[in-house]
Structure 1
Amino acid sequence: MLISSKKVLCLAISALTAFSVCLTGCGKDTQSSVSATEKTTAVAASQPVTKAATSDEQTQEPTWNYSELKRKSSDISDNFDAIITDNKFRGTVYVKIGNALEYIGTNGFSDKDRHTKNSTDTCFRIASLTKQFTAVAVMQLVEEGKLSLDDTIDKYFPSYKYGKKITVKNLLTMTAGIKDYINKDGDTNTYAYNESQLEYKVSAENSAKKNKKAVMDWILDQELNFEPDEKYMYSNSAYFLLGDIIEQVSKTSYEKYIKENILKPSGMMNTGFEGTDKLAVGYQDIYDNAWTLYPGVGYSATSLISNVPDLLKWVDALCTNKLISEKSFKEMTTPYKGNYGYGFVVSKDSNIISHTGKIDKYNAALAFTKDENQIYIALSNYSNSSPINLFNNIQKTLAPFYG
């Protein structure tokens, strides 16, 4: 049974206008527990200023029908509620389009044993969305003149046999050819290893430092999949190495650097690397991948924890150049090979910037436009909940309002 309620969503951001992206994917949820949805629709007090279209303007790209979106925002939100329930999505969903539509939906339990439901404040592991933060940290150090994207990584890993071939930019763009320590090469939906298959053993009992060293030793001992800059292949290992480079250059821990230089300036008080009582319990995992949550294993590739309000602050900080310059952000969001920039997937035929993430039982997706006119966020603590599947269904509801 779906229990729905409407209330005003008060997020601690003053300048958000937001949403939409085109992603594909699939997923299913076989859990049959009681669910609940909390919905918010916030509509701007006034419409954007419009003018009569000239003949030139009539040939421009399609746009949103903001007046219709605003007029039917309540019905749209009801449809979103139904989509979340029908897709058996458990987590938190946020959608915003311009000043016409703002929606947040929550469903499922953050902790079944305690009968705690997912809410706006619930935190989730955001998995590979961590890579955006790592990339911004690199660009900050570049702007300070402490690091160059053209540096070959033998400067940081002098004993690595391929260090002279690989640049920092190759790591950022995932064109280094380095074998992925979590996923099967080129397949972000398939775990390639478990802890017993890593030659350098990781353990739940190990310290973060010891596990980090085990993963690092494994990465640096592998043969390359291809010659650097030859092509794109997704690799968590590349971003794991970037974390260590950040530490060497900044002379502080990766975690402390991110906290002091990114999270605090952005006002992201609920984002970090340690679990709190706000962190949702993960459910439904059918794979032997709990090792990815061991201390130090996720590191600069997958270890951040956050929630919807903080991710909205993150988008705002990026788009208003609070963390890096406009020039650096443009460079980060320019597609290289495989439509990948620095920590982002970038659509070539639109200005959509996005990334998805999956770690153990958690799923995450974030997509937005640089003008903050469109934003989509979906975070889940159920392994079979698919943010991409959910979004594809949301897009069907929104399609009549775009053109």
Structure 2
Amino acid sequence: MKKLTFLFFIVTSGLTNAQQTKVEQFSTALDSVRIQLKIPGMAVAIKQGNIVLLQKGYGFTDLEKHIPATAQTTFRVASVTKTFTSTLLMQLVEQGKLKLDDPVQKYGVNLNNPNITIKHLLTHTSEEIPGSHFQYNGYGLLGPILEKVSGLPFYRLLSENILIPLKMTSSAPSITPEQVCEYSSANPSVLPFFTTTFNLLAKPYELTSSGEIKRIEYLNEFGAFGGLATSVADLLKYSDAIDRHQFISKAGQKLVFTPNRTDTGFITPYGLGWFVESYKGKDYYWHYGQTNGESALFIKVPSLKLTLAVLCNTDKLSQPFPLGDGDLMMSPVGTLFYHFLLRKQTS
């Protein structure tokens, strides 16, 4: 307990009394939501500019062994991985190796419709008549395209283009032990990323129909759609890199954060790999993650240089709420974030 209290003091020491009060109120309210949703373990990080406002764990990463969750606990983040896929894809676009309007069949992906493009997959507009409407769906087919263009497995592309350059040492793709062994044998420097990440990984849980918390196993999957394991601190590193345009240009990042339009001009809630939303005069760039035993919420408010990352070890941070429709305020965490840390600044 002393260690957690000390950490909390350090990360809030640069704030005014009023700011620190708001952060502590948010932290208390967040833990109340965790308890209400029966989420065993959770971690949160908030950063504004160069100041980390909060970095903390709540509950337990392992209920059976009573191991507390901390800011260093790693979690799988499901579809938050899609933002990384977008970054990797836009790098290849800026390198001239592919175009957003390229048909996917050019890269060996056959969807029985020659009109489906990479951009349709990236913007969730590939269903029915391509480009006609937004329907949140999987990103999995972007993985083989990226692999074909780059000549690398997707897990290597992610590791070598983002995780390693940013020293995201508590982050790794959830690949098989055999793949880890093969990869680390060829490149020993990647082994600590996997060792640290999976030694600190939270155990996954679900709620039974009777409301009991039950230990489960993670789905054995990784791809462009999901499967990254990371920590809240590492997500802050990734957010900072986005802001300084480390991986793609300022113009390219602006395109990523621009809401897509359907062929009829309807503005969707999604850009190129991120939800894009305006609320009370502020733009929010965000993504959620949700699958068995894992869920996440990752939010950027660029005008305030503010980032939030919340990760947990059930699907309940996202599962009860229709976040796929693109309304951040359907999330109780999103509303708490606004209420305690944004409302006064947007009034």
Give the distance between the partners of 2:254 and 2:100, measured in 1 at CA.
Answer: 15
Give the distance between the partners of 1:394 and 1:159, measured in 2 at CA.
Answer: 42
In structure 1, what is the equivalent of residue 231 of structure 2? 307
Residues 91-128 of structure 1: per-residue CA shift (max 9 Å, x gap): 01122345777122321111122321111111001110
Secondary structure, in 3 states, of the residue corresponding to 1:133? Answer: helix
1:105-124 to 2 correspondences below 5 Å: 105-124=56-75
In structure 1, give the amino acid aligned to 2:57. T
In structure 2, what is the equivalent of residue 52 of structure 1? none
Give the distance between the partners of 1:283 and 1:397, measured in 2 at CA.
Answer: 29
How far the C-alpha of 1:372 sits from its partner, in A, is: 6.5
In structure 2, what is the equivalent of residue 391 of structure 1? 334
Is 1:70 the counterpart of 2:16? The answer is yes
Is 1:263 the counterpart of 2:187? The answer is no
In structure 2, give the amino acid aligned to 1:396. H
- Structure-2-length-normalised TM-score: 0.77
Q: CA RMSD in A?
A: 2.7
Question: Mean alpha-carbon deviation: is it higher for 148-157 or for 342-351?
Answer: 342-351
In structure 2, give the amino acid aligned to 1:256. R
Residues 8-36 of structure 1: per-residue CA shift (max 9 Å, x gap): 4xxxxxxxxxxxxxxxxxxxxxxxxxxxx
Identity %: 28
1:72-151 to 2 correspondences below 5 Å: 72-87=18-33, 88=35, 90-98=41-49, 102-151=53-102
Give the distance between the partners of 1:323 and 1:99, measured in 2 at CA.
Answer: 20
CA contact (8 A) 1:355 1:365 kept: yes
Task: Select which of 129, 138, 144 maps to 1:244.
Answer: 144
How far the C-alpha of 1:266 sits from its partner, in A, is: 1.9
CA contact (8 A) 2:82 2:225 kept: yes
How far the C-alpha of 1:71 sits from its partner, in A, is: 2.5
CA contact (8 A) 2:47 2:307 kept: yes
The alignment covers a number of residue pairs equal to: 295
Is 1:233 the counterpart of 2:179? The answer is no
Q: Name whichever structure is richer in helix by fraction.
A: 2
In structure 2, give the amino acid aligned to 1:132. T
CA contact (8 A) 1:41 1:77 kept: no
Q: Residues 4 and 264 of structure 1: is their aligned pair in 2 closer, same or farther, counting only changes over 3 Å?
A: closer
Residues 308-345 of structure 1: per-residue CA shift (max 9 Å, x gap): 11100100111101111111111111110422011101
CA contact (8 A) 1:41 1:73 kept: no
Secondary structure, in 3 states, of the residue corresponding to 1:135? Answer: helix
How far the C-alpha of 1:160 sits from its partner, in A, is: 3.7
CA contact (8 A) 1:265 1:323 kept: no
- Structure 2 alignment gaps of length 5 or more: 175-196, 262-267, 322-330
- Structure 1 alignment gaps of length 5 or more: 9-37, 45-68, 178-225
Task: Select which of 119, 124, 127 maps to 1:174.
Answer: 124
Task: Select which of 330, 335, 357 maps to 2:254.
Answer: 330
- Structure-1-length-normalised TM-score: 0.67
1:17-32 to 2 correspondences below 5 Å: none
Give the distance between the partners of 1:158 and 1:364, measured in 2 at CA.
Answer: 30
Is 1:293 the counterpart of 2:206? The answer is no
Is 1:345 the counterpart of 2:275? The answer is yes
Q: Residues 363 and 40 of structure 1: is their aligned pair in 2 closer, same or farther, counting only changes over 3 Å?
A: farther
